[in-house]
Structure 1
């Protein structure tokens, strides 16, 4: 099977490179015309917006890389129009954006921006697996409906037309949770400063109290195993389109049942059933890609510096970096590279501090059933994508904004490397302190509303292989 995989990878790579070499750009303009065009400038006479019934004009104008009255070189015009389209799409407020020159009088341009807004109000039923991925729930947890959260979410995106969001969640099932959160990205005239404030109250009857054999250990009881309360405030600063800074402070109060402490006395710092702490987090994000939910061109970065606690007992420092680079190989294919790094200090065996790989976005394809605890680790992912086909689904119901639903299919081949360091690992956790290797083939299905569904067949160094399903975003 490995021979088949690498043979397929070689064929796919050769096909992509061949297409890349065949895509040459021809021009009928003479050299003199080309030189003249490079010296030609256009004047932006006006920028007209159409279709933004809810979104304020200034939210859109902020994303456009040119202004009314600005001069644009003829050689840069098409690039700037495409950049404007990409940056408006990356606000995640619209399902479709078209930026084009509507009229030209001499060297004066009239530029139109046609927009189709998303639906912003979603009083939707909530149904979600609590496990790290679908395969863990389907196989390890035997498709247990006890491991499901259900309820209702009231989501009002773009509440006042300023790309602000109000979320109220009423969740039952595995976790009983109430959440209310409000986020507004811009509160000043310069459109650079904003804030986010939230409150969470939750209880659950089952808890992951440890790991063994590279898997999570759970304990379920009739009474509440964990109570959790959190209040947080985030100040955001966005000096331009690509750079974003977030400064967050939160108060947390967590309580465990006596049973959990008996199973793992080292769950919390200080061997206690209650842990109250304040934490601080600085996050930096950089976006320079064509489409944030599924980038096929460009670079994006996320870096975090986290500090927990004000006492020696609760102290934890953590730094993490996640970067993605996507490079087009041809019109319908691209190379996707992703790197993740995490370091925690001080070095100790407190279980609450040990989650490392296998959680959230820090997962390796092919090790979905496994977790790796530790204080430092990293993942490097390489993926070749090729769009094999796509089509436009016509909405059978009348809709001005959702009349067309594009669906694209990407074939991919991938390989991952990872490493998780632990100073005193459990003997049965054999994936600690060793190089991790996985590889496989897959199909990605991409559509509107950031929809991404992944079908992957993966192999790992343990000699295991299987089919895995994912629905999370790339970034």
Structure 2
């Protein structure tokens, strides 16, 4: 019986990266007291950051089965944070028959990166690759400090040069109070651009380049986040942006700023609610996620703009068997009437909001919806590769998985100025195809997909995040 239990435990550790020690056989309903929680492997991360994500506390009384369930859920909570490669848990008895000690061992990531950045002017890699113009790249450095001071703080500094110049500072402190429920952050951005998208023509953004700067802007945003439990969070953000446009830019598209003046300010207030019940962030295989963002642009009486935008998305991940997985998701955006700057009123074709097969196109509109579905098969389930020659544990243990699958997307954007020779607005878009996903550590995902859209146009596209 003990041999069978040990084998089961080893298999569970391999498949989930979370090993729960098997206690001597006892009634699963027996009540046990968590007398101690012992954490190891966290050379930088503070203990309280890990304890915050657990669904149980020292001194809690739980049945053996409930404690094992709580450990499994706690590992998922920790995996959603950008902190650890692997998490192992174990249970052992204490000095008394009903006391247990919970052991948590983590393997930390590398938290400080200085990246060279090559940024293309287009919306995504595929749109840039269509032309392949190296001169349209901007370059710079990106200092990425995750888990700053071991307190899950985030510090990002980004510097860009070239045709699109930018300096951005992001700082976030997740916990400000003793209960670890309130956090706050600040984002400061200054930029000027010699090249920018100026108008949509033939269902594609048309870019214009000039020796002089076409647009200057500075933005400051401060946010307060409330996270009372594990899965739900509420974020209130106040942002103020100051913009200056060149005469050339406004002549190319009089609706670019939405107003006829060369300078404008855009104040806004937003509220974001998130619910995250996924097993992990980068490439989830089970659970669900939902968010809702309500944004009021032009909150000041003197502002040039005054409209509301509601954007919401949801994603579901359903394991069908050990290797098969179904993922579905959707997003919707609704806006009230009002003066809107063209460059901020994005429809389909930006960020995650696109129908696969239309990566080269955009669809302007005040409103849109998009729905996606993926059926995936784990061609290579999670495999752990160990490189003994590398001494740094943040790099010598590499998780790798490969998934193949089929997908189908649909979407529609409507209401808004259609522009010149644009035919996709207020039209049902549909795309389907086959793809292969490569997933490895530090949340890196590379997707290669062959798509066919409703217009009969096919293409091979590359993306760097999970589709759903």
TM-score by length of 1: 0.89
Give the alignment of 1:385-400 within 5 angstroms: 385-390=376-381, 391-395=383-387, 396-400=389-393
2:430 is aligned with 1:432: no
Aligned to 1:234, which of 218, 223, 226?
223
Structure 2: unaligned runs, 5 residues or longer: 1-24
> Can you list the C-alpha shifts for 1:85-125, whole angstroms capped at 9, x where unaligned?
11111111111111221446533221111111111111222
Structure 2 residue aligned with 1:52: 42
Name the structure 2 match of 1:25: none
The answer to whether 1:129 aligns with 2:136 is no
| Counterpart-to-counterpart distance in 2, 1:132 and 1:379 | 18
Between the aligned partners of 2:338 and 2:330, the Cα distance in structure 1 is 23
SS of corresponding position for 2:36:
strand
Superposed CA offset, 1:378-404 (max 9, x none): 000011111111433223311234331
For residues 143-292 of structure 1, the aligned pairs below 5 Å read 143-292=132-281
The aligned counterpart of 2:79 is 89
Deviations 1:57-86 (A, max 9, x none): 111001011111112223323322111111
- State how far apart, in whole Å, the 1-side matches of 2:162 and 2:353 are: 26
* Partners of 2:264 and 2:304 within 8 A in 1: no
What is the SS of the residue equivalent to 1:434? Answer: coil
Tell me which residue corresponds to 1:28: none
Question: Per-residue deviation at 1:304?
Answer: 0.2
Partner of 2:355: 364
How far 1:447 sits from its partner (Å)? Answer: 1.1
SS across alignment from 2:32? strand
1:337 matches 2:356 = no
Q: Assess, with a 3 A threshold, how the Cα gap between structure 1 residues 401 and 273 changes in structure 2: closer, same or farther.
A: same
Change (3 A) 1:443 1:471: same
Distance change (3 Å), C-alpha of 1:471 and 1:91: same
In 1, the alpha carbon distance for the partners of 2:416 and 2:150 equals: 50
Q: Is the 8 A contact 2:116 2:140 kept in 1?
A: yes
Q: How many matched pairs?
A: 439
Deviation at 1:277, TM superposition (A): 2.1
The structural deviation recorded for 1:168 is: 1.5
> Which whole-Å CA distance do the structure 2 matches of 1:86 and 1:71 have between them?
21
> Separation in 1 of the partners of 2:417 and 2:160?
37
- Note if 1:407 corresponds to 2:400: yes
- Correspondence for 1:450: 443
In 2: Cα distance, 1:160 partner to 1:350 partner: 40
Say if 2:295 and 2:310, in contact at 8 Å, map to a contact too: yes
SS at match of 1:137: helix
CA distance in 2, matches of 1:268, 1:360: 21
For the Cα contact (< 8 Å) 2:82–2:146, is it kept in 1? no
Q: Which residue of 1 aligns with 2:13?
A: none
> How far apart are 1:294 and its partner, in Å?
1.3
| Cα deviation code 1:234-291 (max 9, x no counterpart) | 1111101101111101110111110111111111122222121211111111111101
Separation of aligned partners in 2, 1:162 and 1:193: 14
- Counterpart residue number, 1:19: none
Task: State the Cα deviation string for residues 286-316 of structure 1 (Å, max 9, x = none).
Answer: 1111012211111111110001112473112
Unaligned stretches of 5+ in structure 1? 1-33
Which TM-score applies when normalising by structure 2?
A: 0.90
Counterpart position of 1:322: 313
CA 1:379–1:108 in structure 2 vs 1: closer, same or farther (change >3 Å)? same
Question: Aligned-residue CA RMSD in angstroms?
Answer: 1.8
Give the C-alpha shift of residue 349 in structure 1. 7.0
Instruction: Give the drift of 1:334.
Output: 1.2
Match of 2:7 in 1: none
The secondary structure found in structure 1 opposite 2:147 is coil
Query: In 1, Cα distance between the equivalents of 2:74 and 2:89?
Result: 7
Match of 2:374 in 1: 383
Contact 1:298 / 1:325 at 8 angstroms: preserved in 2?
Answer: yes
